[in-house]
Amino acid sequence: MKKLSLITLCLCCFGLLCAQPVSKNGGLTADQIKTIQNSYKATGADKALRNAIVTNDINKLAKNFDNRTAFDDHFSNEVPSKAITDQASSGRCWMFTGMNVLRSKAIKKHNLPSDFQFSQCYTFFWDQLEKSNLFLQAILDNRVKSMEDETVKWLFQNPLSDGGQFTGVANLITKYGVMPQEAMPETHNSNNTSQISSLIKLKLREDALELRKMANNKSVTEKMLQDKKMEMLQTIYRMLVFAYGEPPAAFTWTQRDAKGNVVSTETYTPMSFAQKFIDADFSKFHMIMNDPTREYYKVYEIAYDRHVYDGQNWKFLNLPMNEIADMAIASIKDSTNMYFSCDVGKFLDRDKGYLDVNNYDYGSLFGTTFNMDKRQRIASYASMSSHAMTLCAVDLDKDGKPLKWMVENSWGPKYGHNGFLIMTNEWFNEYMFRLVVESKYIPAKTLKLFEQTPILLPAWDPLFAPEEEYEM
């Protein structure tokens, strides 16, 4: 009897639950769901589109046939190209791009072979160790804050990444020097970073929790915390050595000219090699950005936007696109390429290596519109800088106005247009975000704006996510 009563009670409760409104305060009601369902008429055209879309790549179906003749690879002004590099399955585009800018200078100055490269593996090794220290020290700097604090949460969410900006190139080379690729070549894990990166991040998070626990113990001194941090970094160093090899303190390298003739054979340290082959004063490189959501002609700085704890956060001057374009043109005309970053995945024709806002007509395919402008896309998290490349060419019309641009990519020579990507000027305006320009190409009035006290932005600002896009 009691068992029957219990069953009856449960059934009654279930009936009451079913009788309750499914939605409240903005939730979808059954009637609303029915209205939405009835709005789809399943016409013959809709059925045909559905059948096509469910079985095909959307970009293939949205390809704009009317734009098929727009592609042109002629450029009125072009910096001589070098051998295309390949970051493989890693998020090191910022480093490849920065070092491509620097190797171009080295090749030109020292008459080196066109396939000369600085060791990306060497620089990346120190990048990962420095970022690990940056994270652990930031954890100590914020030890009094709760785990719910926004900065603390961001740190634990982002203990380490492959990505970065030109900041890292400047900081790391200044501190550690460089070497030719032959002195520390790529490894399987430098070309495929996901596994080792995941393990190091896991270890760093574990270490961070331990440091926070120690810091809450009143008997623990600052020296004890720093000693513990050093112990943790020794473990990270060991993991990095296993994955990437140990950076040599010195190496012997034979320099050859562009024709392959031996010039000299010498023993270098990374710093002595940098002193000879890095023809750059990093204080004269300036980051320009275009962010229409923020006031122009102001300088911005992003917390923790650096690779080295004892380095400097990079400063960005926000400018209109026409002024950025003028500086880029001046640099290219002087045979000087530039660090460039953009939202590379938008309207990219991967077969041609062509970026054009008219490449794909998604609106017609789905019977709707996609009308946000650059400001709206940034504000709504729909677009941000994802990838760095080397800006190396511009095609100007008879009035000196840009028609299209070209970048040297780091996805290998077989990708895109022989390793390059070509973009229309319209795409450049819509999806370009950052450009590193040398002082001599920046008008004096504009250059003076960098003397402002920067406006500090939080580390989680969406526009300043590390550039790390890579091709799988």
Residues 178 and 288: their CA atoms lie apart, in Å, by: 26
- The CATH homologous superfamily to which domain 77-464 belongs is Cysteine proteinases (3.90.70.10)
Q: Residue count of the chain, please give it.
A: 472
pLDDT of residue 125: 98
Quick one: which of 452, 465, 457, 463 has its CA closest to 297?
A: 452
Neighbouring C-beta atoms of residue 384, cutoff 10 Å: 19
Question: Is 417 one of the catalytic residues?
Answer: no
pLDDT of residue 140: 98
The verdict on pTM exceeding 0.75 is yes
pLDDT of residue 347: 96
Q: What is the DSSP letter of 43?
A: -
pLDDT of residue 466: 67
Quick one: which of 141, 131, 127 has its CA closest to 225?
A: 141
Question: Averaged in consecutive runs of 10 residues, what is the pLDDT profile of the chain (472 residues)?
Answer: 47 47 75 93 89 93 85 92 92 96 95 97 98 98 97 96 93 97 98 97 98 96 98 98 98 97 98 96 95 96 92 91 98 97 94 94 94 94 93 97 97 94 98 97 97 94 67 46
pLDDT of residue 19: 47
Catalytic residue among 387, 392, 425, 429: 387
Catalytic residue among 318, 409, 425, 429: 409
Contact of 59 with 347, CB cutoff 8 Å: no
Contact of 175 with 306, CB cutoff 8 Å: no
Question: Is 10 one of the catalytic residues?
Answer: no
pLDDT of residue 178: 98
Question: Is 74 one of the catalytic residues?
Answer: no
By the 10 Å C-beta count (0-12 exposed, 13-18 middle, 19+ buried), 449 is classed as middle
